[in-house]
Amino acid sequence: MKIASYNVNGIRAAINKGFIDWLQATNPDVICLQEIKAMEEQLDLDLFAEAGYENNYWFSAQKKGYSGVAILCKKEPNHIEFGTGIESMDYEGRNLRVDYDKVSVMSMYLPSGTNDARLSHKFEYMDLIHNYLNELQNEKPNLVVCGDYNICHEPIDIHNPKMKGVSGFLPEEREWLGNFIDSGFIDSFRHLHPEKQEFSWWSYRANARANNKGWRLDYAMVSEPLQENIKRSVILTEAVHSDHCPILLELDL
């Protein structure tokens, strides 16, 4: 099973940059999208159906042109869970899950901490989602949580590890991500590539992408019961439809 995850920074903009052609060429079974910045009714859903993803599910933010997640599937899931039931998270459209017989896949978009108010919201979300996923693992032990976590975990995950005072690499954020992993998840990329430095996000400023001054913010977290099923986990840096690039996980189920 091939599972991709991509913060598209606006699905309509990504489509205009060739996203559909890339999707067909990459051909994942499931792709989790974040920061779609659109309502379902603003999209031409035939584009996805014609690409092989007539099972497409959208969970938008209440605020137009902001946040939102989606999952596109080749095979119809057994169940689709829109949101978490926690209002502060669901208002911004940050979680969507599909369940299959052998695995459940969540698209998650963790807030960024661009100012003090948003950083406070980010920490609240981090606490809430960790508790939610701890409980969900009891019900769905074979769980993959893909998405933009907006946190670099270790110094190898950021081009400049001296940026300790910037949200995304704060000690408290990094500690939370470590605790998240310790609660029963595997960072699939780091599991297979312990020494590899690759990034999944670059600022649009100062030619950061050309100079590879990036951050690894996007993760395919796999619950521990699936550890032996992890076959491949890569960062697809050649895709350029966004300030992020997609990641790809392959599970042998």
The residues annotated with a catalytic role in the active site are 148
Residues 250, 2 contacting (CB under 8 angstroms): yes
Measured over the CA atoms of residue 83, residue 89, residue 90 and residue 93, the dihedral's sign is negative
Query: How far is residue 85's CA from residue 211's CA, in Å, rounded to a whole number?
Result: 42
